[in-house]
Structure 1
Amino acid sequence: MGTRKRPGGVTLSRTAKPFRTPSGLRAPVGSASGGRFDGWRIVAYSALAMAMTAPGQTTGVSVFIDPLIADLGVTRTQISTAYLTGTLIGACAMPLVGRMIDRYGPRRVIACVGAVFGAILIGLSFVTGLVGLTAGFVGIRMAGQGALSLVATTTVAYWFDKRRGLALGITGAVGTAGISLAPMLIERLVSVYGWRQAWAIEGVAVWAVVLPLALFGIRNRPSDVGQHVDGIVPDTDTDPNAPLTGWPLRKALRTSIFWAVAACLAASSMLTTGLNFHQVALLGERGLSPAEAAANFLPQTAAALLATLAVGALIDRLPPKAVLTAAMAILACGILSARLVSPGWTAIGYGILLGTSGGLLRVVESATLPRYFGTAHLGAIRGTAHTVTIAASAFGPLAVSLGHDLTGHYGPALVALTTVPVLAALAVLVARKPVADG
């Protein structure tokens, strides 16, 4: 009772056919008493939590790099290595975070992550050397870029099924907008107060926003407040207390589609991070000034927002494999287009291709894994996928840099790196949809 099967045989739970009255009209949605469905408020809270990951994202950290080099007496290579180390170690914690979500619920995990994230940011304001900086990078990449993002999107997946793609699209779009705007605010904080005070202010801001969200806004699942997934009242014979169903992590890891999705995430994370990290030098080689190269983040952000919203509204009706393949094809075209960039529209087109690919992938991952594997162990499954994603991002800048050092130009390296999304697309095409036993 309380379960149904999607095409492919995967059993999902807590989502039933909408109840209809004897007259054939749909019954009011929301709580058992007919109140307003809280799912869209959860989307808003989760999007705000996503935006608060900005201090742990590469765009938010990049503002601090030059002041850190000047004040701590470290080289750019040393600080890049520290960042790579922090990213890799932080990624290893994602499966554990995912299991915590499954066991304790998103509300407790968001509160814990927010408290730790804020404390680490404040701690970074006291660093005096490379060891402390590396430890701080481990913390902010684990808690901010990884854990807080993971729990925010997983919360939305618990509240929606039929409209999961739309809800996740809105969450991703609003969160991305906040992350993209944050560097301008952070830059002003660093300029006015210095990097130490700026990090302390960020830590207090995380506490001030994330902790109240966890305590007073987020609710783990619709059943916690007498509501139902998607706000649709199930059939009267549905047991509201039926346990969630879905694939355990170890079983999901034995499917080809999980690793195909992970390969797409890794390809996008690695290459987008690498291209963005070297964007000024890469586009400078094509004749753009540093200001023009930096401005190219704007079309990337705009395209990512539009793609996230568009695919979010459609993903529930589109085959995930087709969207994954399209995202990889667009990413490959974006990488190759960097060799043809010149000041003007071609540079804007390059930014649009990169942004579109990232926007497509962001939503399809969040919606596809619960579609294929259910929600009972969703945190652990998505946590493992995020480990692959974050770890891959650590190697992107190094791969692009080594390619440039070997050839003296970025062009040959870009051609070679195009094989990465092509191989990921092939993995998607040959992957089989998971089929439940029996």
Structure 2
Amino acid sequence: MVKPGLPRLPRLARSWRCRPGAPFYGPVMLGLAAALVVGTCVGQSFLLGQFKEPMQASLGIDGTRMALLYFVATLAGGLSLWPAGLAVDRLGLRRVCLLVLPALALSCWTTALAPSVAVLLAGILCLRMLGQGVMELLSGNTVAMWYHRRLGIASTVTSVAFALSLLVLPPLVQASIAAVGWRWTYGICGGAILACWPIVWLAFVGRPEEMGQAPDGVRRPPAAPTADAQRAAGLRGESLNVRQALRTRSFWILTVALAHYALALTAAVFCVNSVVKERGLPEEQGAWVISALGGAMAASYPVLGPLADRLHARWLQAFATLALCGAMIGLAATSRPRHLVLVGAALGVCISAQAAVGATAWVRRYGRDHLGSIRGVVQTTAVAGSSVGPLVLEALADGLASVPSVHAAAGGRYTAALWILAGVGVPVAAMAMLLRGGEAGVQTDPQDPNAGSRPRAPRTRPDTEQAADRRPL
């Protein structure tokens, strides 16, 4: 029998809640979030790149048309993330997840059966929109709903799962393509995605409140607590909607930093093989960067994730940006194979730090009620930056190549362009240090070095004061 005031739950969740003592359901949801983040791989660049050459050979597409197709699909898919975020807020995580999984499987099968460039464009567009975009949104929001104080530690699980995917899936996909072809391989990916649907239907719960629990598994205050008491316990926050978030300084600082990260990271990964070829190194050594990236990410996030629970977001954001700048400078100056490993390691650390910021900063600053729509806007910006990154790099490289003195001093087609993109990151890192304030609905002490990482008892007039991170533009 369903308890009064609680919604009807999936079968596994109902049986879990009926157990004596009702253990915290968060670890189950954390496992499902990790599965969702692995499912995003079918639309991620590192896996789609394994299909690039077979697709071109099968459909007779040259490299330029394939790059343009990828750009259009990525940009169009990114523009749909804000409506997807609104759907998450209105329909709930569970319903959207049950709709997205079959749609993503269908996208894999559409791509696998594509008889023409137009159908391939539609398939890749849906893969980028649903795989890289909506599934990542669902995974991040799921962890944010179930964890608050330990959000940085909890997000370690999903980030390590993604890092291990970087290490394991590319060679598996390459072996499958060699054995059965790229079409059957994408068909198998679609089947694996659809196989997760029954598990989500049986076990997925969007919020701990639906189970009569609280984030982090903490005990709720006594019956009918006041709003101030809930704020002091860290169990209640005042959520901002998209319009309110857009009027805060911290939103634009974090969004600009994320856009630079997406643009520069995609540009760096895009030109790795070309730089390797320019320097006269064996072409297969370009793959060392991805391997080192995955290993460094898996090793660094267990450190950086928990730090997000202790440090202010400005420190991690500045560190992520500077790590990316260092990786791009290293790539521009690389001349030996071991340099490529260091570049990949720096990129992996950068991704871990940026992921730690993304997992914790948005929900702590703007609350949970409108998190889907806010993250939808943010991810649209990130996808747009990712889609134009290679184009910006190529435009800079072509423009600087026409200046003989610059080209001769650089010693490579992409060298000067990489230095410029790295230089842009320095003011972005400085801007990140302007972040102030703390959590949504929790008053913070501006003199506290950990403001934004732990709650402070509300002041006498909490309704008339705002944290510094909500200062309007």
Per the normalisation by structure 1, the TM-score is 0.88
1:422, distance to aligned residue in structure 2 (A): 2.0
Q: For the Cα contact (< 8 Å) 2:167–2:295, is it kept in 1?
A: no
Percent identity for Structure 1 against Structure 2: 27
Three-state SS of the structure 1 residue aligned to 2:430 is: helix
Could you state the TM-score of these two structures normalised by the residue count of structure 2?
0.82
Q: Which has the higher contact order (CA 8 A, sep 6+)?
A: 1
User: How many residue pairs were aligned?
Assistant: 408
How far apart are residue 240 of structure 1 and its match? 11
After TM superposition, the structure 1 stretch with the greater mean CA deviation from structure 2, 245-254 or 344-353, is: 344-353
Amino acid at match of 2:431: A
Q: In 2, distance between residues paired with 1:351 and 1:48?
A: 25
Give 1:11's aligned residue.
Answer: none
Matched, 1:225 2:211: yes
Deviations along 1:397-432, one digit per CA (max 9) or x if unpaired, are 122222333344111111111133223223322345
Equivalent residues in 2 for 1:28-427, closer than 5 Å: 34-209=21-196, 211-238=197-224, 245-408=238-401, 409-427=413-431
Alignment partners' CA distance in 2, 1:60 and 1:405:
28
Distance change in 2, residues 1:240/1:151 (3 Å): farther
Render the CA deviation track for 1:273-300: whole Å, top value 9, x for unaligned.
Answer: 1211221111332342111111221111
SS in 2 for 1:288: coil
Q: Is the 8 A contact 2:239 2:368 kept in 1?
A: yes
Give the deviation of 1:167 after TM superposition.
Answer: 0.6
Question: Shift of the alpha carbon at 1:32?
Answer: 10
Alpha-carbon distance in 2 for matches of 1:424, 1:405: 25
CA contact (8 A) 1:31 1:225 kept: no
Please, which moves more after superposition, 125-134 or 379-388? 125-134
Per-residue CA deviation, residues 41-87 of structure 1 (Å, 9 max, x unaligned), is 21111011101111100011111111111111111110111110011
Cα distance between partner residues in 2 of 1:248 and 1:269: 24
Change (3 A) 1:374 1:32: farther
Q: Secondary structure at the match of 1:381?
A: helix
* Distance of 2:270 and 2:436 partners within structure 1: 35
Report the residue type matching 1:395 in the other structure: V
Residue number in structure 1 paired with 2:404: none
The C-alpha deviation readout for 1:83-114, integer Å capped at 9, x for no partner, is 10011111111111111111121111111111
User: Does the 8 Å CA contact 2:166/2:294 hold for their aligned counterparts?
Assistant: no
1:214-236 residue CA offsets vs partner (Å, 9 max, x unmatched): 21222111121222211011211
Classify the secondary structure of the residue corresponding to 1:35: coil
Instruction: Report the Cα offset of residue 153 of structure 1.
Output: 1.1
What amino acid sits opposite 1:68 in the alignment?
M
Asked if 1 retains the 8 angstrom alpha-carbon contact of 2:268 and 2:418, the reply is no
Q: Which amino acid aligns with 2:420?
A: A
Deviation at 1:121, TM superposition (A): 0.8
Farther-moved stretch of structure 1 (360-369 vs 421-430): 421-430
Provide the rounded CA distance (Å) in 1 between the counterparts of 2:356 and 2:276: 28
Kindly tell me: are residues 109 and 140 of structure 1, through their superposed partners in 2, closer, same or farther at Cα, counting changes over 3 Å? same
Give the whole-Å Cα distance in 2 for the aligned partners of 1:31 and 1:405.
65
Instruction: After superposition, give the CA deviation of every residue in 1:307-365 in whole Å (9 maximum; x if it has no partner).
Output: 22211112111110111011111111111111222224322221111111111001111
Q: Is the 8 A contact 2:166 2:290 kept in 1?
A: no
Within 2, Cα distance between the matches of 1:244 and 1:433?
14
The one-letter code sitting in structure 1 at the alignment partner of 2:422 is T
- Given residue 201 of structure 1, which amino acid in structure 2 is its aligned partner? I
Contact 1:323–1:360 at 8 Å: present in 2 too? yes
Where do 5+ consecutive residues of structure 1 fail to align? 1-29
In structure 1, the residue matched to 2:11 is: none
Which ranges in structure 2 are unaligned for 5 or more consecutive residues? Answer: 1-16, 231-235, 402-412, 442-462, 465-473
Distance (whole Å) between structure 2 residues aligned to residue 217 and residue 60 of structure 1: 28
Q: Which amino acid aligns with 2:362?
A: L
Q: Is the 8 A contact 1:53 1:179 kept in 2?
A: no
Distance, in Å, in 1 between the alignment partners of 2:176 and 2:116 is 22
Q: Does the Cα contact within 8 Å between 2:54 and 2:182 map onto a contact in 1? A: yes
CA RMSD of aligned residues (A): 2.2
Contact 1:57 1:145 in 2 (8 A): yes
**1:158–1:32: structure 2 CA closer, same or farther, 3 Å change rule?**
farther
- Name the CA distance, whole Å, in 1 between partners of 2:282 and 2:158: 34
CA distance in 2, matches of 1:90, 1:145: 9
Distance 1:331 1:308 in 2: 15
Q: Which moved more, 1:100-109 or 1:402-411?
A: 402-411
- Tell me if the contact between 1:51 and 1:176 (Cα under 8 Å) persists in the aligned partners: no
